[in-house]
Amino acid sequence: MSKRKNDDSTQKTAPSKKINSGHWALGLLKTMEDPKYIIQSDDLITIIKDAYPKAEFHYLILPKANISNLKALNKDHIDLLKHMEIKAKELLNSEAHKHKHFKLGYHAEASMFRLHMHVISDDMNSPCLKTKKHWNSFNTDFFLNSNEVLSSLQKYGKVTIPSKETCKLYMDYPLKCHKCSYEPKNLPDLKKHIVTHLEKKN
């Protein structure tokens, strides 16, 4: 990661481990600056299209402050999270999203620096959705609802996050349709099944 002067709040929330600036986990920082992906930006946040969307519509809202992950949040960040929530809802208030249902939230253990809120349509219909881990990261309690994250921060001054062992259990859950009780043989089977729900909707 490049060396630069940061304000006090940035230093408190920077990652504890140094990561090479070319490391894949820092990919979001590059995407935040790529006009091809940027939806909108203000003094506090940038909204981007996910480069590998796991649904028809998949956006990420990232703070401009150098906040590494959920564990780095404290009460000073409450207004920021509220702002992220407001911007997410404004984004979805458009004709393109009118008949879609969306989930807003965070992964309990994010693989990428920096903190980012997922704004994702619940169709889960995308060629980039390729693994059981992809599926379970959005369709189990590994995915933390944004309201619950904010509530935890307001109540405790930190975000309550499942343990590593619990997160692993979520990733190992058997595949199950998020719309009904169907239990597929594998992910390709599940993806075929999902289409039947989309066809009914249309």
Give CB contacts under 8 A, 24+ apart, made by 171-175: 171/132, 171/133, 171/136, 171/137, 171/140, 171/142, 172/136, 173/136, 173/140, 175/132, 175/135, 175/136
Give the span between the Cα atoms of 92 and 41, in whole angstroms.
Answer: 15
The values of phi and psi at residue 7, to 5°, are -75, 175
Which among 58, 77, 116, 118 is annotated as catalytic? 116
CA distance 130 to 144: 21
Give the integer Cα–Cα distance in Å for 121 and 56.
Answer: 7
Say how many C-beta atoms besides its own lie within 10 A of residue 73's C-beta.
Answer: 24
116 classed as catalytic? yes
Catalytic residues: 116
